[in-house]
């Protein structure tokens, strides 16, 4: 089998698992994670074969409408709603112009920024803050996990929430003094179910509780706090893989 045919098979299989993961997202979380992991593995293999990178889009601007995202004037992500994340799309290394429009419109962009992409990387491009101050926040993803282990990290994108600590409920701090627009390092763990809480940094003041969080083997998690502390929509967490 030649290179292009082999890579096309990876892409077709990855797309199948992406659809299955979406189908089970709110029906069966375990199956959702199972198929999402298969999707990520195949996507990573395809990316490595092409020596390209992949980019996905997260809508984390609490008062912004659903959006279409254009990369170099080509509509790449369609009708992405608040708290939703797209699948990855493949891009060669380079610098791109990203424009965000309300879904179905292409008159005045609510956001125009450049995106620099290096080879062999996975990127999440997040639209964050209120719509009148919306901007892109970009980080890299790492799906690699030692066999039978797990890991997670924390990202703070709630614009009116002060620095926070992430802690075991009633117990030790896991990530301390996490500032707005900060991405922590991954923390390696033995797979477990744990109760966590988000506190105002340096205090016992809990602003958000995370009950019965299951960190499953062979999966890397990104936990993101979104929303507002003082108005609606309120604080919530999103769990992304990786």
d(CA 55, CA 38): 18
**CATH for 144-242?**
2.60.40
**pLDDT recorded at residue 105:** 95
| Measured CA distances, 139 to 4, 123, 175, 211 (Å) | 29, 6, 18, 26
d(CA 165, CA 29): 27
Half-sphere exposure of 37 (CA within 13 A, CB side): 15
3-state secondary structure of 158: coil
d(CA 223, CA 221): 6
Identify the band that residue 51 occupies on the pLDDT scale cut at 50, 70 and 90. Answer: low
d(CA 70, CA 107): 13
pLDDT at 50 over 70: no
pLDDT at 7 over 50: no
pLDDT tens digits, residue range 68-120? 999 999 999 999 999 999 999 999 999 999 999 999 999 999 999 999 999 88
| Measured CA distances, 199 to 62, 130, 165, 196 (Å) | 21, 23, 5, 10
The model's pTM is 0.81
Identify the band that residue 124 occupies on the pLDDT scale cut at 50, 70 and 90. Answer: very high
């Amino acid at each position: 089998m030649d290179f292009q045919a082999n890579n096309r098979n990876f892409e077709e299989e990855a797309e199948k698992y992406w659809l299955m993961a979406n189908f089970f997202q709110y029906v069966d979380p375990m199956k959702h994670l199972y198929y999402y992991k298969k999707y990520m593995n195949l996507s990573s293999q395809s990316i490595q074969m092409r020596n390209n990178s992949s980019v996905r889009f997260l809508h984390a601007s609490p008062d912004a409408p659903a959006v279409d995202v254009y990369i170099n004037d080509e509509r790449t992500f369609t009708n992405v709603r608040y708290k939703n994340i797209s699948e990855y799309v493949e891009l060669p290394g380079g610098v791109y112009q990203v424009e965000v429009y309300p879904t179905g419109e292409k008159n005045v962009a609510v956001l125009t920024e450049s995106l620099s992409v290096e080879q062999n990387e996975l990127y999440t491009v997040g639209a964050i803050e209120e719509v009148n101050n919306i901007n892109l926040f970009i980080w890299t993803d790492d799906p690699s996990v030692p066999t039978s282990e797990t890991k997670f990290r924390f990202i703070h994108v709630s614009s009116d929430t002060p620095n926070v600590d992430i802690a075991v409920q009633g117990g030790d701090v896991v990530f301390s003094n996490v500032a707005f627009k900060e991405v922590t390092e991954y923390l390696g763990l033995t797979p477990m179910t744990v109760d966590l809480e988000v506190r105002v940094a340096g205090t016992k003041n809990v602003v958000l509780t995370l009950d019965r969080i299951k960190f499953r083997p062979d999966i890397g998690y990104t936990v993101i706090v979104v929303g507002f502390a003082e108005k609606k929509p309120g604080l919530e967490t999103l769990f992304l893989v990786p």
